[in-house]
Structure 1
Amino acid sequence: MPKSVGPALVGVWVQAVLNLAVGFLLLALVNDAADHGQEEGAGLLRFLAVLSLLMAGALLLCGVFAGKRSNGIRVTVVVIEALSLLSGVLGLLQGGGVPVLPGIAFALAVLRGFSSAEARNWFDR
C-alpha cells in the first residue's frame, strides 16, 4: 500500500464512524421533534440523517474492501470526499465559520491521498 493511501484510509474509517454518529444523532433529533409536535423542518433533517448514514455505510465498505485494490473503491471514496468538501464549502459560505474548517481540511487530506498517482496505480493493479 502506498504511503499516501495508508493515512487516507485511516481518515476514511474515522469519517465513516463520525458520519454514523451524526446520522444517528440527527435521527434522534428528528424523532424527538416529532414526539413534541414540531414537524417543521423535520424532512430536511431526516434526509440529511439518511444521507449521512448512507455515506457512512459506503465508507465502511470501502474501508473493508480497500485491500482488494479495486478502482471502484478509490472512485467511491473520491466522490464521497468531493461531496463532503462541497458540503463544507457551502457551509462556510453560509456562515458556518471556524467549525466547518476541520471538515474541509479532513476531506482535502483524504481526497489528496486517494487521488495521488501512487493511489491510482495501486488501485488499478
Structure 2
Amino acid sequence: MPKNVRLAVVGIWVQGVLNLAAGALLLAVVNDAADHGQDEGAGLLRFVAVLSLLIAGALILCGAFAGKRSNGVRVTVIVIEALSLLSGLLGLFQGGGVSVLPGIVFALVVLRSFGSAEARNWFDR
C-alpha cells in the first residue's frame, strides 16, 4: 500500500470513530430532550445523528477492507469525503467560521490521497 494511502486510511479510521462518537452523542441528546417533552425539531437532529452513524460505519468498513484492494473502497471513500467537503464549505459560507476549517482540510487531504494515480493503481490491482 502506498504511504499516502496508508496515512489516509489511518485518517479514515479516526474520522469514522469521531463520527461514531458524534452520532451517538447527538442521538443521546435528542433522546434525552424527547424524554423531557422538548422534541420540537428533534426529527432533523435525529436524522443527522443516524446519518453520522451510517457514515461512521461506512468509513470504518472502508478502513477495515482497504487492505483487500477493492476499488469499491476507494470510490466509497471519495464519495463520502466529497460530501464532507461540500458540507464543510456550506458550513463555512453560512458563518461557521474557523471551526469548519479542520474538516475541510481533512477531507481535502483524504481526497487527494485516494484520488492520486498511485492509489488508483493500487486499488485497481
User: What's the secondary structure of 1:4's corresponding residue?
Assistant: helix
CA distance in 2, matches of 1:114, 1:85: 14
Q: Does 1:70 align with 2:59?
A: no
TM superposition score normalised by structure 1: 0.98
Q: 1:47 matched to which residue of 2?
A: 47
Contact persistence 1:69–1:122 (CA under 8 A): yes
Q: 1:92 matched to which residue of 2?
A: 92
More helix by percentage:
2
CA distance in 2, matches of 1:32, 1:59: 27
Question: Relative CO higher for 1 or 2, CA cutoff 8 Å, sep ≥ 6?
Answer: 1
CA distance in 2, matches of 1:110, 1:59: 12
Q: What are the ranges of 5 or more consecutive residues in structure 1 without an aligned counterpart?
A: none
Structure 1 residue 29: deviation in Å?
Answer: 1.1
CA distance in 1, matches of 2:104, 2:6: 19
Equivalenced residue count is 125
Contact persistence 1:4–1:118 (CA under 8 A): no
Structure 1 residue 39: deviation in Å?
Answer: 1.1
Aligned AA (1:27):
L
Aligned AA (2:114):
F
Report the aligned-residue RMSD. 0.6
CA distance in 2, matches of 1:58, 1:108: 18
Structure 1 residue 36: deviation in Å?
Answer: 1.4
Percent identity reads: 82
Structure 1 residue 6: deviation in Å?
Answer: 1.0
Structure 1 residue 4: deviation in Å?
Answer: 1.6
Structure 1 runs of 4+ aligned residues shifted over 3 Å read none
